[in-house]
Amino acid sequence: MKIDIKNNDVLYVEINGWNYYIDDSTNEQIIDKWKEIQCTHCDSRLTLHHMDWSAIICSYCEKEIQA
């Protein structure tokens, strides 16, 4: 686990490859999470925002498969 406290309003946490972002700097209580993964068909890096395993190919490979 990695914890990165940016300032009094912004915090990043990394747990098992998932990144969590908490931000209250704009008084909007923003919470986001994402994971950096590699496309299963090429070397492209993808940002996965939820556990949608159908999305583990980049948009280019998706077009190739559907073609």
Which residues of this protein are in contact with Zn ion, per CB under 5 A?
39, 41-42, 44, 58, 61
How far is C-alpha 13 from the geometric centre of its chain's CA atoms? 12
Residue number with CB closer to Zn ion (10 or 39): 39
Residue number with CB closer to Zn ion (10 or 56): 56
Residue number with CB closer to Zn ion (22 or 39): 39
| Residue 5: Cβ within 10 Å count | 10
Residue 52 beta carbon to Zn ion: minimum distance, rounded to whole angstroms:
16
- Residues 62, 64, 66, 67: what is their CA dihedral angle, to the nearest 10 degrees? 160
